[in-house]
Amino acid sequence: MFSFQKYPWAIVGYTPRDYKTNNDSDEISYYIPSPGQDYSMVLTGAAFVHREFLRMYTKSLKPEVRELVSNLFNCEDIAMNYMVSDFCRCGGTYFVQGPKIVNLGVDSKGLWNRPGHGKKRDLCTNAFRKYYGYMPLRRKPWTCA
């Protein structure tokens, strides 16, 4: 059975991400986990989601989250992960070991390649936690769905 069919109320994808907490400041930072490390998000560029989550993102996403995503032109994938995890009150993501995903945008002017991209993602990760009033993301071990 394909992982999406096994976990229809989750984001099932190939590219895991996570956050780190600075114990001194309680600020969190977005980061790319190494193989074997836990993860709490999956990038949505190569992922499967239930169509209900697309409806919820369009119609029910917290207005302050939508505004920040629109203003920064960034973080829609982080917003989707927060929304799904908040909805299911569980780790709403599954990493799938699959074919090597080739980024055809290498050497391009993609968002990930622009100055300040990481800082924007840190800002979103902290702001979304504040908007939700808690941290909905749940860490999972690096195992395949």
Tokens describing residue 117: 């991209």
137 in a structural domain: no
Where in the sequence is the domain holding 59, given as residue range(s)?
A: 3-132
For residue 77, indicate whether it is catalytic: yes
Q: What is the CATH number of the domain that holds 43?
A: 3.90.550.10
Question: pTM value?
Answer: 0.86
Q: How many domains does the chain have?
A: 1
Question: Per the residue annotation, which of 77, 86, 107, 122 is the catalytic one?
Answer: 77
Determine, yes or no, domain membership for 141.
no
pLDDT in tens, 101-134: 555 445 555 555 567 788 999 999 999 999 999 9
